[in-house]
């Protein structure tokens, strides 16, 4: 259904990316059939604009449209490498157009969810509701969920420890078998560490078709040619490809910050990166989005305000993230060597649980024991007092 101006909505979702659509999919449940919901985005969401990779145990919501799933991956550090068995986890690859099509097909059957393709100009809030001003008019709701990262929030985030995770990837097609389709490359640091922490990951669709992406953690985003030069070198040196064809090109940037992103402004609640769901140490966001969406919906089902404040566990992991980010920002220790220690001195399951913020205290201590202890203890205490 399409939006009707003047309609009073129960919930408005501003932004139909990973965060907005993940929440909308959960609100498509019959429990919410008596709620009027509006989803707004400037795009029709048909483009191949990104790829998400995440891990989870067992079956998941997006399994029907995950292009690939793996039970192992390769890690290459500057001086050591490992093939890591994931111990019950599956590493899953989800392409943007498949995700968007899956969500749109599900939501198109829901008469209580309406769509509006429009540019969002501004969100405002009052005592009992919120308003969204768009190129198609203004809409009001009891609660607005926004995944739109506002300029003032981004500027504030850049005042603390801050890096961009920026990347460019090529879909590579070869004539001869060149990729191990049963095992992706999770991180490969065997590339020059220029202006930051640099690595490549390889997601094989088949033995002749893969997404090869060059990723950097640094204060400034690179010009396109710089990624392209490094990708060519990697394809020739490490994958030893004699010839290849480039199909789809994927690029983007994600803010990694020690700042606490706002949970809400009145009746406007923030989702995704805008709501602090991006891990400051690694840029991982997709799994946090799913947990955040579940928590919001659980509160709505209990007729409670859908305000998810960080609990003690989340605050503790944010402190860990900020500690690692400060080490990277201040250049205390090589990022490539740091990740090598983490992934070669810990089993994959422990590291994935830690990155999922689901490890128990004993696992957390073992992970911390694999990094330079004095350095991290000093930075940890500095972050602790800065937070206080």
Please check the confidence at residue 135 and state whether its pLDDT lies above 60: yes
For 349, residues 6+ apart whose C-beta sits below 8 A from its C-beta are: 86, 87, 88, 89
Q: Is 0.85 surpassed by the pTM of this model?
A: yes
Residue 1 binned pLDDT confidence (cut-offs 50, 70, 90) = low
pLDDT of residue 388: 60
pLDDT in tens, 93-124: 999 999 999 999 999 999 999 999 999 999 99
pLDDT in tens, 34-48: 999 999 999 999 988
> CA-CA distance, 3 to 139, in Å (whole number)?
9
Residue 197 binned pLDDT confidence (cut-offs 50, 70, 90) = very high
> CA-CA distance, 76 to 319, in Å (whole number)?
27
> CA-CA distance, 116 to 15, in Å (whole number)?
10
C-beta of residue 44 within 8 angstroms of C-beta of residue 147: no
Please check the confidence at residue 86 and state whether its pLDDT lies above 70: yes
**Is domain 162-256 in CATH 3.30.9.10, yes or no?**
yes
Q: What is the average per-residue pLDDT within 281-303?
A: 96
pLDDT of residue 125: 83
CATH numeric code, 8-49+94-156+258-301? 3.50.50.60
pLDDT of residue 325: 96
Residue 2 binned pLDDT confidence (cut-offs 50, 70, 90) = low
> CA-CA distance, 4 to 40, in Å (whole number)?
12
pLDDT of residue 258: 94
Nearest to 247 by CA among 28, 24, 63, 95: 95
> CA-CA distance, 269 to 25, in Å (whole number)?
17
pLDDT of residue 4: 54
């Amino acid at each position: 259904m399409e939006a009707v101006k003047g309609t009073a909505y129960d919930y408005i979702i501003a932004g139909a990316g990973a965060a907005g659509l993940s929440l909308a999919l959960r609100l498509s449940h019959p429990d919410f059939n008596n709620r009027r919901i509006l989803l707004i985005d400037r795009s029709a969401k048909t483009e191949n604009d990104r790829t998400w990779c995440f891990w989870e145990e067992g079956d998941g919501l997006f399994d029907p449209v995950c292009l690939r799933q793996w039970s192992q991956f390769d890690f290459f550090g500057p001086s050591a490498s490992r093939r890591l068995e994931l111990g019950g986890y599956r590493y899953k690859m989800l392409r943007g157009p498949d995700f968007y099509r899956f969500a749109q097909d599900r939501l198109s059957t829901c008469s209580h969810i309406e769509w509006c393709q429009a540019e969002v100009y501004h969100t405002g809030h009052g005592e009992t509701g919120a308003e969204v001003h768009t190129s198609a008019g203004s809409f009001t709701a009891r609660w607005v969920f926004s995944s739109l990262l506002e300029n003032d929030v981004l500027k504030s985030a850049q005042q603390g420890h801050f890096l961009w995770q920026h990347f460019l990837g090529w879909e590579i097609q070869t004539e001869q078998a060149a990729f191990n389709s049963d095992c992706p490359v999770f991180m490969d640091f065997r590339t020059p560490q220029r202006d930051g922490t640099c690595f490549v990951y390889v997601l094989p669709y088949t033995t002749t078709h893969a997404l090869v992406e060059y990723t950097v953690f640094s204060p400034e985003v690179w010009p396109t040619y710089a990624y392209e030069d490094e990708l060519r070198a990697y394809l020739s040196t490490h994958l030893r490809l004699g010839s290849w064809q480039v199909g789809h090109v994927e690029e983007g940037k994600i803010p990694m910050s020690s700042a606490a992103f706002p949970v809400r402004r009145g009746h406007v609640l923030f989702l995704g990166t805008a709501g602090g769901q991006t891990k400051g140490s690694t840029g991982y966001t997709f799994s946090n989005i799913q947990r955040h969406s579940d928590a919001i919906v659980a509160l709505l089902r209990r007729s409670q305000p859908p305000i998810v404040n960080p609990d003690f566990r989340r605050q503790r992991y944010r402190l860990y993230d900020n500690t690692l980010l400060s080490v990277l920002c201040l250049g205390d220790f090589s990022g490539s060597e740091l990740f090598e220690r983490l992934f070669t001195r810990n089993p994959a399951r422990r590291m994935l649980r830690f990155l999922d913020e689901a490890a128990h205290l004993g696992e957390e201590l073992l992970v911390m024991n694999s990094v330079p202890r004095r350095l991290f203890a000093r930075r940890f205490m500095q972050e602790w007092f800065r937070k206080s």
